[in-house]
């Protein structure tokens, strides 16, 4: 029986080489943001809001035209966190 990820980490690769990481509780939440915010404004130089999970009072904005890549990584809380080793 396949396991269901507990959340998804989305690595945003920006044209100047900068990388950001945001978390989504489900793949559907990511797809909703991606198809509703990022894709329609892909060539825009105007800022769009990027949701940041579990951080009160903090937000991130990005220019969609500067996003050159996304990597979506499923996270399983039951897995061993390799950063703790």
**Number of Cβ atoms within 10 Å of the Cβ of 20:** 14
19 phi-psi bin (left φ>0, alpha ψ -120 to 50, beta other): beta
Residue pointed to by tokens 């990511």: 30
Whole-number pLDDT of residue 80: 56
Instruction: Answer yes or no: is pLDDT of 84 > 70.
Output: no
Whole-prediction pTM: 0.81
Structure confidence by residue, pLDDT tens digits, 25-48: 999 999 999 999 999 999 999 999
Mean pLDDT, residues 37-60 taken together: 87
Which pLDDT belongs to residue 67?
Answer: 96
The per-residue pLDDT for 1 is: 67
Q: Find where tokens 């703790």 sit.
A: 84
Q: What is the pLDDT of residue 58?
A: 81
| pLDDT band per the 50, 70, 90 thresholds, residue 70 | very high
Q: Tell me which residue of 67, 49, 45 sits closest to 59, measured CA to CA.
A: 49
Nearest to 3 by CA among 51, 74, 68: 74
């Amino acid at each position: 029986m396949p396991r269901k990820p507990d959340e998804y980490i989305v690595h945003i690769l920006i044209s100047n080489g900068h990388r950001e990481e945001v978390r989504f509780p489900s793949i559907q939440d990511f797809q909703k943001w991606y198809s509703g915010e990022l894709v329609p404004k892909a060539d825009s130089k105007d800022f769009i809001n990027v949701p940041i999970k579990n951080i009160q009072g903090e937000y991130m904005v990005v220019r969609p035209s500067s996003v050159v890549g996304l990597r979506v990584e499923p996270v399983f809380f039951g897995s061993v966190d390799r950063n703790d080793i």
